[in-house]
Chains A and B, each alone.
Chain A
Amino acid sequence: MSIINVTVANVEQVTPLVKHFTLVKEDGSLFPAFSGGSHIVVAMNINGRVHRNPYSLMGSPEETGAYHISVRKQEKSRGGSVFMHEQIKVGSKLQITYPVNLFALEKRARKNLLIAGGIGITPFMSQIEDLNRTGAAYEMHYAYRSPEHGAFSDELSAKCGDKFKCYVESDGDTLDFKALLSKQPLGTHVYVCGPHPMVVALIETARELGWPENNIHSEQFSAPPSGDAFKLKLSKSNLEIVVPSEMSMLEAIEAAGVDAPYLCRGGACGRCELEVLCTDGPLIHNDHYLTDAEKAAGKKIMPCVSRAKCDLLELNI
């Protein structure tokens, strides 16, 4: 996997919980351009253990002198977001992957309806740059808890003009999905990013209203949940390792020195899929990639976020 070495050029506290980081390349050259909705994976060395978290790129895809990410400090952090908030300062060195886009705009859409909840606004910040540049039709709807959490409201208002609408929960504003989706012209694509219940509610509303599956887009990165420790047998590598309760299977496999594929590390892209050869207990699928039927069949697993409630799980790697 191609890696870019970066230096933190600026850190800004944008809300009580969100910090904005500006990254530049260590060798001073330009980053590659990217497409709106892309993310990078940031590698952090925390006490000798490598954490890798995905973050959406926020700036203009055209301005390749710097990349911009925002990190929300998670209450139940496994270490990554707290590390970014407390340890990363101007001048800190990090490693990132090339941009990957799992949340791309549909270029043929008649209209784009963008819906964000809280920190879910981040992928839209770059999408809006693309939409403004190409002159595509869109609306940006942004919901958040209270005024101090509306991190990017002013910037969005300036960039989107009357295409922008925000909903402040503490002011009693609510975003009525059904009303909003019902009045869209045919050929509209809807994009949603935010807390899990919000994403699910939006998708279900769109389906109920008869929206085509291909016109509904969502992005959710899950952090790997913790759980009981279990043993992994890696058949091709001929290794037996333990997955501790606070570590994902993918992290445990990597820590054992086995080169496993990955892209998003959030259960979204499917790149890290591994074949399950044998297990003596149920699999706990936490990804958004496998279909329900595939999850039920139990032949595949996404080691970046999923686990098993078992003593021994055998994977074909």
Chain B
Amino acid sequence: MNVAFKKETFRDDYSYENSPEAIKRFPFPFPEDTYMYSVNIEPHTKGPKGSTIEFAFDIDEHYVAECEDKAKTLALDSSRYQALPHMMDAQWDFLELTMDSLSADYPKLFTLTKDGKNWTWENKPLGIKTSFVFGDKTTLAMEPFEYMSRQVQGDFVLLDQRNGTLYADAGFVTSQADWSLAFDAGMAWHEWHGPVPQVTKLGVMDRALKYLMNIQLGSPVRRLNWTMTINPRLDTSPENYPLWGGDRNKVTPDNVGDLVHLRVELQSLFRLPRSNGLFFSIRCYLISMDELSTYPRWVKRFHRVLKSLHSDLVEYKGLTKFRDMTVQWLSRFDDGKPMDIGTHPE
């Protein structure tokens, strides 16, 4: 794989954009014309060549810019990285999984050499080369979870499994859709999902928890989730609400295509070997309405999904201010004819 990494920003002048190749591989999440929560989980096995699910972790054209954005967000707010002391085994599990995967899947970009516990890691796109002793945190400049979280796209949470539930006991979170690690750290499954509407009566959370606690080593799973964001901004955190919340008032019928973005999270979950913890990866993909409209099937489908979306979800996802205007903008692409089920772009 030969990736040309883009120089771009996810803040201030928002120069982020997708190449035609990146648009084509966008993980569009709507196979049908309507959307409601479901336990839409599938095995995280190797997907089609070139797709966002070809490998365990997707490295794309935004890699370098996204890692720079992570570093900026963390420098401004150190609470975006938290790890409780009992999560150290899980931290090393995370480092091993990400280093093993990246070096095996992208050998031109990343290399890992192991001599017993003496490991050397090289990350060519970011210009990093480090030798350290696996399991000895004094040999790295920072904790192992922070070290590798800075070098992989996405947000990461390490979960401890105990008392018949899962606890969010460590996290590196800089590209979140309006949730706070500082608030959720240490919480149990049902506590941090408390605000999600509609799901309690559907029994989704109980079934999902049972499923997750049975995830096995060697058999990771994934699902897609989505929301919408104004401007291609990764850090839409509650802590920085003043920096982005007001942007929702700036949407006009003329700038919908440029300002309004579909935000898709490719979420994956891995059982960790030494800690018996779970590792939750939340990888964010952003696409503007203009970019989405380059594929008639997608823009038509998204029009129908957004138009029929349950009012509780419109409110919960924070779409109220610009949803009607966006539906109006999208309607020009919808001829009203039926579409077959599926997420393919053409």
Q: Are A214 and B162 in contact (CB under 8 A)?
A: yes
Which residues 38-94 of A sit at the B interface, judged by CB distance below 8 A? 38, 61
Chain A residue with the shortest CB-CB distance to B84: A108
Report A-chain residues with C-beta under 8 Å of the C-beta of B155: none
Stretch in A5-13, A95-103, A159-167, A180-188 with 4+ CB within 8 Å of B? A95-103
Q: Are B162 and A33 in contact (CB under 8 A)?
A: no
Q: Are A271 and B214 in contact (CB under 8 A)?
A: yes
* Bound-complex Cα distance A278 to B217 (A): 35
- B337 an interface residue at 8 Å Cβ cutoff? no
Contact of A33 among B163, B216, B273 (CB under 8 A): B273
* Bound-complex Cα distance A97 to B161 (A): 20
CB distance from B52 to the nearest CB of A (A): 23
Report B-chain residues with C-beta under 8 Å of the C-beta of A214: 162-163
Q: Are A263 and B273 in contact (CB under 8 A)?
A: no
- B275 an interface residue at 8 Å Cβ cutoff? yes
Q: Are B214 and A99 in contact (CB under 8 A)?
A: no
CB distance from B101 to the nearest CB of A (A): 14
Contact of A99 among B86, B162, B163, B217 (CB under 8 A): B217
Report A-chain residues with C-beta under 8 Å of the C-beta of B216: 1-2, 97-98, 100, 263
Contact of B274 among A33, A98, A100, A271 (CB under 8 A): A33
Report A-chain residues with C-beta under 8 Å of the C-beta of B107: none
Q: Are A35 and B214 in contact (CB under 8 A)?
A: no
- B200 an interface residue at 8 Å Cβ cutoff? no
- B82 an interface residue at 8 Å Cβ cutoff? no
Contact of B276 among A35, A134, A271 (CB under 8 A): A35
- A177 an interface residue at 8 Å Cβ cutoff? no
Chain B residue with the shortest CB-CB distance to A136: B86
- B50 an interface residue at 8 Å Cβ cutoff? no
CB distance from B112 to the nearest CB of A (A): 14
Report B-chain residues with C-beta under 8 Å of the C-beta of A104: 161-162, 276
Chain A window 248-291, contacts with chain B (Cβ cutoff 8 Å), 1 for yes, 0 for no:
00000000000000010000011100000000000000000000
Number of interface residues, chain B, beta carbon within 8 A: 18
- B235 an interface residue at 8 Å Cβ cutoff? no
- A34 an interface residue at 8 Å Cβ cutoff? yes
* Bound-complex Cα distance A269 to B215 (A): 12
* Bound-complex Cα distance A263 to B216 (A): 9
Chain B window 208-219, contacts with chain A (Cβ cutoff 8 Å), 1 for yes, 0 for no:
001000101111
- B160 an interface residue at 8 Å Cβ cutoff? yes
Q: Are B217 and A34 in contact (CB under 8 A)?
A: yes
Chain A residue with the shortest CB-CB distance to B162: A106
Chain B residue with the shortest CB-CB distance to A261: B214
- A107 an interface residue at 8 Å Cβ cutoff? yes
Which residues 167-219 of A sit at the B interface, judged by CB distance below 8 A? 214
* Bound-complex Cα distance A97 to B214 (A): 14
Report A-chain residues with C-beta under 8 Å of the C-beta of B273: 32-35, 61, 99
Report A-chain residues with C-beta under 8 Å of the C-beta of B161: 104
* Bound-complex Cα distance A214 to B163 (A): 6
* Bound-complex Cα distance A100 to B276 (A): 8
* Bound-complex Cα distance A108 to B273 (A): 18
Chain B window 193-232, contacts with chain A (Cβ cutoff 8 Å), 1 for yes, 0 for no:
0000000000000000010001011110000000000000
* Bound-complex Cα distance A205 to B42 (A): 43
Which residues 95-137 of A sit at the B interface, judged by CB distance below 8 A? 97-101, 104, 106-108, 134
CB distance from B64 to the nearest CB of A (A): 31
Chain B residue with the shortest CB-CB distance to A99: B217
* Bound-complex Cα distance A33 to B100 (A): 13
CB distance from B200 to the nearest CB of A (A): 20
Report B-chain residues with C-beta under 8 Å of the C-beta of A270: 210, 214
26 contacts between A and B (CB under 8 A): A1-B216, A2-B216, A2-B218, A2-B219, A32-B217, A33-B273, A34-B217, A34-B273, A35-B89, A61-B274, A97-B216, A98-B217, A99-B273, A100-B217, A101-B276, A104-B162, A104-B276, A107-B86, A107-B87, A107-B89, A107-B160, A107-B162, A108-B86, A134-B89, A214-B162, A263-B214
Question: A residues engaging B (CB < 8 A)?
Answer: 1-2, 32-35, 38, 61, 97-101, 104, 106-108, 134, 214, 263, 269-271
